[in-house]
Structure formats: structure tokens, C-alpha cells
Amino acid sequence: MKYFIFILSVMIFLCCKNDSGTSVDNPVKSIRLNDTSEVAVGQTVELTNGEIVFKFDSLIQEARCPIGVECFWQGNASIHLTFRDRVDTLDTYFKQAISYGNYKLILIKLLPYPIWQQPIDKKSYIAMIKVSQ
């Protein structure tokens, strides 16, 4: 019985979440209005006043023209964001900004930029995002 309680305790500890709903090892990143902030895939971000909380869930599409190739157009990359009450996307070309309440989220840049025949791990992307009013 002691072993069962010990194992159960360890499992509960490993699965713990903090009050914000993010895992203990990936805390919420606080950003300020009008600052450009780096947001990694899987990272949750909160505006310092608490009015906006969103998570950069994943890269949806990477179709930008890679360095080392001549393309007809620059291409587009899309990212998926989850807010408390909706989901949305931002793009490097088509939809660079979205509105959320009285705020505007702008995708300034998405890194890394693709290079011909050099695969990028989807988890290594960083979105440069600016929140303004």
C-alpha cells in the first residue's frame, strides 16, 4: 500500500499544472504593449495588464521561398494561435495582423527563415509578435 501511495504521489507531482493552465516547466511569458516579443512554439503569452492571453500552438504552413532558390513570389508561412475564447492564425504574407478586443496582434517576423535543403524542426520556430492598441 505504501508503494501505491508513493507512485500515485509521484504521478500527481509530474502532472501538476499551475493556476494559468500551463505546465510548470513552461511558464507564461509576460509581454508589454507595443513591444515586439519573441514567442516560441508551445509558449503561452500574457499581456502585462492580463487582458490578452494566447498560445503559439504550432506552425501550420511553411511555404516561404527558401534562401538559395529563385521563386516567382516570396511565399507564406502560417502559425496557429489559441486565445481563451477563440483560435486564429497569423501569416507572414496574407494575414499579418488580427484584432482581439481593443488590441491588434501583428506578426513582425517568423524565424528561422527556410534555407534550401535544410529542414527545420517545427518546434524550433519563433514568432516575433507585437501587441498594440
Q: Which residue has the higher pLDDT, 62 or 17?
A: 62
Q: What are phi and psi of 123, to 5 degrees?
A: -80, -5
Percent of the chain with pLDDT over 70: 80
Spell out where 5-119 has E strands. Answer: 29-31, 36-40, 44-47, 53-62, 77-83, 87-91, 97-100, 103-111
For 132: left if phi > 0, alpha if psi spans -120 to 50, otherwise beta; the answer is beta
Mean pLDDT within 27-42: 94
